Structure 1
Amino acid sequence: MIQSIQESLKRKVAHSEEVVSKELHTEEKSIEVLYINTISDEKIFQEYVVVPFFEITSPERFLDYLQSQPKIKPFENEQKTLDELVRGVSILFYQDFIFLLDSKIDQNNAVLDTTIETTTQGPQSGFSESLPTNLGLIRQRYPSTTLTVESMTIGTTSQTKVMILHDTQYVDPVVLERIKNFLSSVEVQMFQSGEQLLDIIKKVIGRCSLSCW
């Protein structure tokens, strides 16, 4: 039962690069953890799972710990677990049990206030220069298991990491492939900003239509 649920959960989120699956082992016990690293605080995971796992040698006592820790809740159903996973909760698989650890990152402390213009409606936060922080903010606003993240590098010298986000339910695979091909074809030594990419796109569009990507 637990194995089939575990495999189903992994299958539904495995398409995204941010999904992390870890296994911890001692001679007496083992535990597997599933989480999304851009919205889960790994310090919480270390404090409430890793450290106790290696400090508590008895498998039974560690199970007692999981069942009594206020930040750790028991599994209810698969859909609710998926909903929690895409909001930053870590899923723990131990023996014949599944637990949910509240490991959400506090995005309010991770993102910058919007400074471009004053807004009277909507969130008062903006993107930073940190890709994980930005991805976490997007996932907070778009908590869906079908949101997928793929990465590539642009810039022969800078080797700048670029993320492509898309929803597998709605994305046009032909357009997605064109975007990937276009980004792969960008020839530049130093790639530093989205504005630079926009300038490159404008130049390409000026020379040819989308079909020539």
Structure 2
Amino acid sequence: MFFKRKDQPKDNTDQSAQNQADIPAAKDAFLAEMKGRFSNSADFIIKELSPELSLLYIETLIETTMLNENIIGALCEPVRSLDQALEQIDSGSKNKLDSLDKTIDALLEGSAIIHFDGIPSVLSANIKTTVDRSLNKPENESQVLGPQLAFIESLNTNLSLIRRYLVNPALKVETFQLGVRTRSKVSLLFLEGIADDGMIATVRQRINDIQIDGILDSSILLQLIEDNTLSIFPQMVLTERPDRTCSLLLEGKLAILTEGSSQAIICPVNFVEFFKSMEDQNVRWHIATFLRLLRLFAMQISIFFTAIYVASLTFHYEIIPQPLLVPLSESRSKVPFPPIFEALLLEFTIELLREAGARLPTKVGQTMGIVGGIVVGTAAVQAGFTSNILIIIIALSALASFTTPSYMMGNVIRILRFPLIFLAGFWGFYGLSLGFAFIVIHLVRQSSLGSPYLAPFYPPRFSYWLDSIIRMPLPFTNTRPYQSRPKDMVRYPRDPDQNE
């Protein structure tokens, strides 16, 4: 796996041991050491409150009001020892620290440090400022029924949202620090007694093996811990919904949250999971089944529809119905390009419009997509660059790609169209069959935390097929999916009068 932790040379080990040295008791030595660590940074502040007492903090990380009222105001009275300062300070989180590394970590987390001359320890008081945004509706996974809350960039807030849904002491949270320079907090969540111990150990080991400068978002962490980082298909789900996260935790899956990210990583997952929506659980099973089948059908339209058009017009005219040949021939009579070039030109234009609309401000982006599509499409047909029928096919393919609930899988569908168009243009349906076979073989070889990616279809588990594609009625979903290998397979007894 990439970015694995390498063995440190002896010099680094000695340096690490030196960093764990005790805090200098002398004030001058301590302040000189701290100034050297922070390289005289402009926002690193040192105040000498008395000949013996020194106050250190990072100005951009602390709440100024709390600093003045709870710390400086409390230390106005004479202080003769660190224990006395501990009693006088009014702060929610106060700790005694005895190493330089812990002192620096506390400063970087928004604490003020008090050092008393002659004492080889310091007092930390947490007064960090909060810059979190308010809770909002999900933007990428919106739904009509169900909760309307999304994760934000605060790890503690996201953990609180999950705790509100899962009021259970079995919910375990393990915290890691990743990034040699960012030291970002990462939390691993699972339900004890349900989640598989082997999968927990695997994720724990993969996180501990990461050695990188910084982790700024969950999407970066996902690429470092998934089974095959070279595959175009994602092997873990990113979600911004706390309710979906809790629903998958109840199935025995694991969740990973990152400080500064509004997305949670869910693993293990299978291919069909990317086409499921949390709203499927909130509507009647008939409607949920229809919508799920519609998404899977739309995926096939988006990937293969344009390629089938190219193959048919290039090599296989005989499969086109006779009534359709005349209007198709009239539509293409003024087009000077072969079907493959015509299709690639329109597909590339659609991707340009889509990317421009996504990067522009919301209102301008929507206008750009609508006006650009109409103007470019009409002008292309009138100029003879393309046919009317291909405009319809390209529009349907682009529209179908938006039905996928997962943004990552939607991007995969967009990319797969291009190699299939090339194969169809050079070898017709034989090339298209080759491309389809390659995709299936690649999917069969993939896994998520060692669990088959195409489960329950390969290896076949016929008893789970229906509940994978079809959202079965709730009385028939009393067992958890086998893919995550849960310790407790039974969610609830199917017979209400039956006791577990």
TM-score range, shorter chain: 0.3 to 0.5
Q: Highest Rg: 1 or 2?
A: 2
Q: More strand per residue: 1 or 2? A: 1
TM-score (norm: length of structure 1): 0.45
Structure with a larger share of its residues in helix: 2
TM-score by length of 2: 0.21
